[in-house]
Structure 1
Amino acid sequence: MNKQEILNRINTKITEKIKNFETLIAETRASNNDTKSSMGDKYETGREMLQQEINNLQRQLNETLNQQAILQKITSDPSEKVQNGALVKTDKGLFYIAASIGEIIVENQKIMTVSAESPLVKAMFGKKTGDVFAINTMTQTIENIW
């Protein structure tokens, strides 16, 4: 399994998300400025709602930028135990520990990208091939780690 390809795919998705949030923020700010200049005080509520939307988008952008910062510290070096940057195969699926961006498909394999902060990763962190861990009363066996 090519970990560098997985990492590249995740980086691409994160970069696209960042660009998307920046565009949405710019467009929302522009519509907020249009409202300010052309409408009277009775539209204060509309402007406040737009500002809340900008704040929400900014928060999501910051979270995505944090994910990108975490990714920059991850290498594609092989792992012997479950840690950041490890690709872990259990009897229930294939997991890449980096940033949580959902499912990706690499080399016709479904890989779930998960954050090191997720309960699943916390349950398996530090374990090695052959170890068993449990989450939500479901046990999983680690079959391989790359």
Structure 2
Amino acid sequence: MKPKITQHYSNFLQSKIDSLRQMIADLTEDAKNDAKGSAGDKHETALSMMHLEQEKLNQKLKEVMETKSIFDSIDFEKKLAKVTTGSLVLANDIYFLISVSLPKVELDQRTIFAISPQAPLAQMLMGCVVGDQISLNNVAYKIQSIS
């Protein structure tokens, strides 16, 4: 299950990067085309708006690339008895991948949350072993497995 989950999240991040790059390329192309046939204040405003949007997309791209870099640097192959970064923890029939914060997914009718090691739940899970129980926000989590 763990390789399937890590592959899903890696593909998700790469897809996001590709999508952002395409949006930036499209904006650049639109700006070039707009520059050929327009003049005046409306034209300048449109170019300014495109430039601002491009800056936002570039910032978002940088953030997603940093997240992917961190995700790719995690050793998901290591097998430890205790929860650590890179662990896939099953608790209350919910999977928690201790890696980077990413959206919840459903795979094979299982719920998976990718959470950052800095997240409160991850902080409480760190160092725990199978059978341990923790409580966060009045919810008790019993660790069923660690991989």
Q: TM-score, normalised by structure 2?
A: 0.81
Query: C-alpha distance in 2, partners of 1:140/1:41?
Result: 63
Structure 2 partner of 1:26: 25
Task: Say whether 1:142 aligns with 2:124.
Answer: no
Uncovered stretches (5+) of structure 2, i.e. residues with no partner: none
TM-fit CA distance, 1:137: 4.0
TM-fit CA distance, 1:42: 0.9
Uncovered stretches (5+) of structure 1, i.e. residues with no partner: none
TM-fit CA distance, 1:80: 2.1
Query: C-alpha distance in 2, partners of 1:136/1:47?
Result: 49
Mapping of 1:34-113 within 5 angstroms?
Answer: 34-43=33-42, 44-74=44-74, 75-91=76-92, 93-113=94-114
Q: Which amino acid aligns with 2:64?
A: T
Query: C-alpha distance in 2, partners of 1:45/1:81?
Result: 57
TM-fit CA distance, 1:98: 1.9
3-state SS of paired residue (1:79): coil
TM-fit CA distance, 1:86: 0.6
Q: Decide which moves more: 35-44 or 60-69.
A: 35-44
- Contact 2:94/2:110 (8 A) holds in 1: no
Percent of aligned pairs with the same amino acid: 23
What RMSD in Å do the two structures reach over aligned CA positions? Answer: 2.2
Q: Which amino acid aligns with 2:53?
A: E
Query: C-alpha distance in 1, partners of 2:121/2:34?
Result: 46
How many pairs align? 145
